[in-house]
Structure 1
Amino acid sequence: MNRPRWNCIAPVTACAVSLLVGGCQLVGVAVENYRKDATKTVDAESTVLEGKSFAAIVVADRGIQGDFPAMVDDLTATLTARLSSSGNNPRAGGFIPANDVLAYIYSSPAWTYKSKAELAEALGGVDRIVILEIMEYRLHDPGNPYVWDGMASGVISVYDPSSPTPELAIFERTISIRYPDETGKGPNDTPAALVYSQLGGRLIDRASWPFYDHKEPYYPKY
């Protein structure tokens, strides 16, 4: 007499489990769909700029500057603005405006031979020197201007000129990003100016994000 009862309970249990699993799958899909467009807060990785004054310098070789004459100016201005924002947490204590840094760099081509202590003094006695060295910046593969394959790479370094070892970076990170995310795009699909600006924006994101709390996509493309 007990057997029919067990036969009855088993399918009910199976149905309950099936509904539970199906519900979990639906929730999982909903969460994944939400995350595709959502962001998450990422804490600052380094506090080397907290409460410190800084000057940000962008360096690129003559070949890159020849291809993109405005790049050093653009990236210097954007990097300085990001790192000096009053909303940053942690927040820098002060900064040298980008125009002043650029004026010094262009008027003193021998600055690269100065020690970090001498450079900091020449730039107003700042506590930190931030250098973004651009290693590569291109919109397409060499010889193929018909398909965008943008790539930018570089090294972001921070120096403490008052340190016993001022020539050694107290923070250093290699960065490499690409744009566009889709392959096969060309000038008829996306203007060169947009590829240039998106590369710069992504590069500055990755160069500046380690120094303040910020939001990133759950599934970042770069």
Structure 2
Amino acid sequence: MIKRSAIHRPVLMLLLPALLLVAGCDIFGLVGGISSNYERTKKIEVLAEYDGLVDKSCAVVVHADLSVLYEHPTAVPNIAANVSRRIQSNVNGVSVLSPREVLDWQYHTPSWSMMPYGQIAEDLGVDRVVYIDIYEYRLNPPGNRWLWEGVCAANVGVVERGGFDPDQFVETYNVICRFPDLRGLGRESATQAQIQTGLQARFVEESAWLFYTHIEDKYPEYQ
């Protein structure tokens, strides 16, 4: 039978608060880590920047320069179709003109980009025009086709037919999206189709979000 000596008890009593303090620090650290992770993954509700599409007819018109149309022929129709679809699905009472009708009108009206905005709305027979003017669209850094660095940047304007001045935008927004997030990604790491799909999906989401209340990450992984 082993006899426990009482002489160690005072030492133990002195050590006990320190042990509890260390344990407390670990607990607080764990709680703090959980709280930090929760904050990083938190979702927030974001109101529409422009809510004037509610109960209105609308057309999404996308403009890009000839170099973009030549090098990336699917970019404009894909962006137009998917922004139209999101607006139709998420804005109450809106009636979005078929993207095919808009593209057909653009094709048969070669000088449409020179027309006053109010005339575009009148020709398309809609109350509102969401005009997406793409001023930069690329998948690689300038002069380097060996890396992926997608950028889609545009000014998004809203035309109100019958408004105070239908030939001017009532609201304008600058939307710039990049894909992929990883810098210096080599050409062998992904296909052109993958980069283009990711870039367009991100741009469509950011552009359409301007027009309806939605949920997004408080701290998005990409900027």
> Which TM-score band applies after superposition, normalised by the shorter structure?
0.7 to 0.9
Taking structure 1 as reference, are residues 189 and 168 closer, same or farther at Cα in structure 2, changes over 3 Å only? same
Contact 2:106 2:112 (C-alpha < 8 Å) held by counterparts: yes
TM-score normalised per structure 1: 0.84
Q: Distance in 2 between matches of 1:18 and 1:209?
A: 48
Any idea what SS the aligned residue of 1:109 has?
Answer: coil
* Pair 1:107-2:111 in alignment: no
Once the two structures are overlaid, the 10-residue window that deviates more, 99-108 or 206-215, is 206-215
Computing the radius of gyration from Cα coordinates, the structure with the larger value is 2
Q: What residue number does 1:93 align with? A: 94
Q: Distance in 2 between matches of 1:118 and 1:140?
A: 36
Contact 2:140 2:147 (C-alpha < 8 Å) held by counterparts: yes
Q: Distance in 1 between matches of 2:27 and 2:170?
A: 50
Structure 2, unaligned stretches of length 5 or more?
1-12
Q: What residue number does 1:3 align with? A: none
Equivalent residue letter for 1:93: V
Q: What residue number does 2:8 align with? A: none
Equivalent residue letter for 2:29: Q
Write out per-residue CA displacement over residues 102-157 of structure 1, whole angstroms, 9 at most, x where no aligned residue.
Answer: 00001111222332332222112x11011111111111112211111111111111
* Pair 1:57-2:61 in alignment: yes
Equivalent residue letter for 2:50: S
Q: Distance in 1 between matches of 2:37 and 2:189?
A: 27
Q: Distance in 2 between matches of 1:179 and 1:31?
A: 30
Contact 2:117 2:168 (C-alpha < 8 Å) held by counterparts: no
Write out per-residue CA displacement over residues 63-113 of structure 1, whole angstroms, 9 at most, x where no aligned residue.
Answer: 11111011111111111111111xx2x424211100000000011112223
Q: What residue number does 1:153 align with? A: 153
The 5 A counterparts of 1:27-176 are: 27-37=31-41, 39-85=43-89, 88=90, 90-124=91-125, 126-176=126-176
Contact 1:48 1:170 (C-alpha < 8 Å) held by counterparts: no
**What is the root-mean-square deviation of aligned Cα atoms in Å?**
2.3
Once the two structures are overlaid, the 10-residue window that deviates more, 40-49 or 98-107, is 40-49
Q: What residue number does 1:25 align with? A: 29
* Identical columns (%): 30
